[in-house]
Structures are given as C-alpha cells and as structure tokens.
Amino acid sequence: MAGSASDREVLIVVDVQRDFCPGGALAVPQGDDVVPVVNDLARRFVHVILTQDWHPPGHASFATSHPGKRPFDTIEVSYGAQILWPEHCVQGTQGAAFHPKLDVPHAELVLRKGFRKSIDSYSAFCENDRRTATGLTGYLRERGVVRLTLCGLATDFCVAFSAVDGRAAGFDVAVVTSACCGIDHDGSLDRALRSMVEAGVGLRAA
C-alpha cells in the first residue's frame, strides 16, 4: 500500500551540535539562532532524521593531526583537497552533543558520520572520498521516501553536500534557508548556494 504524503517525505536536521554553535570549537556565527526555527520546522514533519558529526580523536581533518598546519589550511589527501579544521565533535565529548535546546523527540534516526579516522564526511549520504556510502540512500528508499527537506549547520558544508547528494540519489530536495546558517569560509557560502541550485535543489525561506 502506498504511504500518505507525510510518509513519503522526511526532514533531515544536519549537525545541530554544540561545537558548531557559539562557544563551540568550530562555531558557525549565530549558529544557535537556527535552533528554535529547526524545532518549529520539525513539528511540521511526521518523519525526522538527525545527523551528527562524530569524529574519533586524531581525525585526519583536524589541523592538530598535521604538524605545522593550522585550522583552515588546505592539504591534499587521497581523495583531493581537504580543509583542516579545529578539533571538533570528538566522539563522546560535550562538543559532539546536540544543542541542548534542540527539541525533536520524534526523530527516528540519528545518522553519525565522520567516524572513519582517515576520511572526512560532510554529506549525510557519502563521505568525502565520494565512494564510501553512509547507507542513508538505502534507508530512505526502503521506507518509500521521495522528498527531503534539509536544515541545520553549516549551510555551505554539511547541508549543501547533503542536499546535492540527495538530488544525485534521485530525491526531490529542498533546503529551508531560514533554518540554516553558514561558515562562509573564503566565499564558500555563495559557492554552496550556486551548487545547490545547479543540482536542482529548491531553496526556500520557510
């Protein structure tokens, strides 16, 4: 039996974690402003998924793992260019926890990403080597989902990569920009918005 419209759409809340909010190790400016907007948005969806950056200590994306390098330097790794980040969202730490005011008790899945020590992972669908799948595509297809709405942190990295990959996997994808916030490192926000539009992602304010 075909599901109802609500059964065929999912809200994906991307990485609303302490370390990505003011006071955190990799804070997105005004990142915590999205929390009440995300909470309100989530109440409109029957099905919600949360993603969670979940790095082991010494992760390859950390500047501290590369002597002489600083946060926001770029290096070449086996899968291409890699921005180096401050240590953030380390497994089991307070910084990796969801924002304390995130209120989505009906979330059905927490998808952890970035837990492989040698590969960074922005997208909820595929790690940065573009070969290692997270399994989210199969999960959504088995549940008969066709439409995805995304929100969270940060617009220009994990939200954008997830949205573009969702389109590539064949889903109808929209991003609610009022429920997102970006880092905007060296023009990354404009590039991310363009890439989403070019991929066929719908951008809407609410």
Active site residues: 15, 113, 158
DSSP, collapsed to helix, strand or coil, labels residue 16 as coil
Beta bridge partners of 203: 175
Report d(CA 7, CA 186) in Å as an integer.
39
DSSP, collapsed to helix, strand or coil, labels residue 70 as coil
Report d(CA 49, CA 104) in Å as an integer.
9
Report d(CA 64, CA 70) in Å as an integer.
7
Report d(CA 1, CA 161) in Å as an integer.
33
Beta-strand relationship, 80-83 and 172-181: unpaired
